[in-house]
Amino acid sequence: MISLYGDIPINKELFGEDFAWGVSTAAFQIEGACDLDGKGMSIWDVFVNRTDKIKSGHSPAVACDFYNRYEQDIDLVKQLNIPNFRFSLSWTRILPNGAGEINQPGIDYYNRVIDYCLQNGVEPWITLYHWDLPHELELKGGWTNRDSVDWFTDYVKICAQHFGDRVKHWMVMNEPGVFAGAGYFLGIHAPGRTGLKNFLPAIHHVVLSIVAGAKQLRRDLPAARIGTTFSCSFIEPHSDKPRDLAAAKRVDALLNRLFIEAVSGYGYPLDDVPALKGITKYILPGDAGNMKFEFDFTGIQNYTREIVKYSFFTPYISAALVKAEDRGVPLTEMKWEVYPPAIYEMIKKFNAYPEVKKLIITENGAAFPDEVINGGVADPLRVEYLQTHIAQVLKAKKEGYKADGYFVWTLTDNFEWAEGYHPRFGLIYVDFDTQRRIIKSSGRWFAAFLKG
């Protein structure tokens, strides 16, 4: 098989028996059933109805109807020979108000999903938080409120109690950099807050919550494999000019280093991102001891590379991205550059932290404009994207870097947050009018690859 960037033949055996292959999803993006069986409102349920920030006004109320169709979709996971299925729990299905009374139908539902996975030889990997904070807690300040550490820890305890007998792999949070940045600084994601006054306390309380949640899991489930996931993009400077180099360094610290370093006990990269200095006001005596956890694995989620230049006009960070659209490079539907070496660079970067014991690519994938033609969906660009990225993972592995798993984002086309249903990331096409599923050629390719 020929890859775009160098000839790297790939087959499953080259990765070894212990390499974890999987597919990733998130509750809010697939489940639908947003107010069924006692589920409470999350910040996303409220955000989509309150704002005009979702493209074409798309509603996640039904999404992929995974809530009702989980058996069919887990059957598809099995049919594609995917051994590991990563999904998140919806906090408000379990605790409608975020705290207090447990909603038994929510617990029953996730028990059914977990049991169905296991009955079918599919290993469930659970993410505890994939962005859908309970709205009731947002009314109390959400992540800007320091009490969020206790709210989250209590929720984790309940999940460990109910599902820990069967689930071995846990991820505490998904991409804190994205939900804190987009939701608490830029206001383009739920809950739509903006500015440093929201962003800085949210960062600190999320860091404390990740560590507290992980410690809670360790206490309750000593045998569990505990991880957490980080978004990352390969950052390169626009030129060798000192101010572009410095701008790239700031963006790299903000996008790639902030959270991994904070939960690894290094503190915040304040020298490289001076705009974050105000965070010290939220750090209380004793916090340093609660900002370090030894994760069994670290999840990284990489999709692209960004080119960064100095920008006088960008507040706080004086840096701007040079849009991939303006660079004449291959693009996905998200307007993200297709650049397979980015994943190799990110594996190298995260390997440099001695705290990273195992490194798993917990998300990688691409959206392309898929179409149903004669009842099938041919998506050669996605096939090539997956092949070339997997090849880069293999390259890193062969060079001796830790790379212990690879999960495709995502199983089925789904609700892509503020982009609505427009970008289709799935290995499986979903007709959102009929809920019909069609395995794309990328799904068939992945299934054949995993068969070995």
**Based on CB atoms, which residue is closest to ligand IFM, 25 or 103?**
25
Footprint of ligand IFM on residues 14-53 (CB under 6 A)?
Answer: 26, 29
Residue 136 CB-half CA count within 13 A: 14
175 is a catalytic site residue: yes
**Based on CB atoms, which residue is closest to ligand IFM, 55 or 243?**
55
Residue 363 near ligand IFM by CB under 6 A: yes
Instruction: Give the dihedral of Cα atoms 216, 95, 138, 280; nearest 10 deg.
Output: 0
**Based on CB atoms, which residue is closest to ligand IFM, 143 or 336?**
336
CA distance 158 to 182: 28
Footprint of ligand IFM on residues 245-264 (CB under 6 A)?
Answer: none
**Based on CB atoms, which residue is closest to ligand IFM, 249 or 389?**
389
- State the DSSP string of 400-432: T----EEEEE-SB----GGGTT-S---SEEEET
Near ligand IFM by CB under 6 A: residue from 91, 293, 409, 421? 409
- Are 213 and 152 in contact by the 8 Å Cβ rule? The answer is yes
Rg (CA), the chain: 21
Residue 65 near ligand IFM by CB under 6 A: no
**Based on CB atoms, which residue is closest to ligand IFM, 65 or 175?**
175
Structure tokens at 124: 């469930």
Residue 416 near ligand IFM by CB under 6 A: yes
Q: Burial code of 202-228, b = ≥16 C-beta within 10 A, e = fewer?
A: bbbbbbbbbbbbbbbbbeebeebbbbb
**Based on CB atoms, which residue is closest to ligand IFM, 155 or 421?**
421
Footprint of ligand IFM on residues 323-362 (CB under 6 A)?
Answer: none
Residues whose CB is less than 8 angstroms from the CB of residue 301 and which lie 6 or more positions away in sequence, other chains included = 174, 175, 229, 230, 231, 232, 361, 362, 363, 364, 409
Q: Tell me the β-bridge partners of 376.
A: 373
Q: Burial code of 83-98, b = ≥16 C-beta within 10 A, e = fewer?
A: ebbbbbbbbbbbbbeb
Q: How far is the CB of 25 from ligand IFM (least distance, A)?
A: 9
**What does DSSP assign to residue 39?**
P
Binding track, positions 168-187, relative to ligand IFM; x by CB under 6 A: -------x------------
Number of residues that bind ligand IFM (CB under 6 A): 7
**Based on CB atoms, which residue is closest to ligand IFM, 310 or 409?**
409
Q: How far is the CB of 232 from ligand IFM (least distance, A)?
A: 11
**Based on CB atoms, which residue is closest to ligand IFM, 53 or 140?**
53
Helix (H) / strand (E) element for 396: namely helix 380-398
Nearest to 256 by CA among 324, 345, 188, 318: 345
Structure tokens at 257: 């280093």
Kindly name the residue from 337, 363, 384, 416 that is annotated as catalytic: 363
Footprint of ligand IFM on residues 288-307 (CB under 6 A)?
Answer: 301
Q: How far is the CB of 336 from ligand IFM (least distance, A)?
A: 9
CA distance 423 to 435: 16
Kindly name the residue from 31, 136, 138, 175 that is annotated as catalytic: 175
Q: How far is the CB of 179 from ligand IFM (least distance, A)?
A: 9
**Based on CB atoms, which residue is closest to ligand IFM, 40 or 423?**
423
- State the DSSP string of 318-355: -EEEE-GGGGT--B-TTS-B--THHHHHHHHHHHT-TT
Taking CB atoms, the residue at the shortest distance from ligand IFM is: 26
Q: Tell me the β-bridge partners of 84.
A: 22, 123
CA distance 178 to 256: 11
**What does DSSP assign to residue 183?**
H
Q: How far is the CB of 26 from ligand IFM (least distance, A)?
A: 5
Q: How far is the CB of 452 from ligand IFM (least distance, A)?
A: 28
Residue 132 near ligand IFM by CB under 6 A: no
- Binding residues for ligand IFM, rule: CB under 6 A, are 26, 29, 175, 301, 363, 409, 416
Active site residues: 175, 363
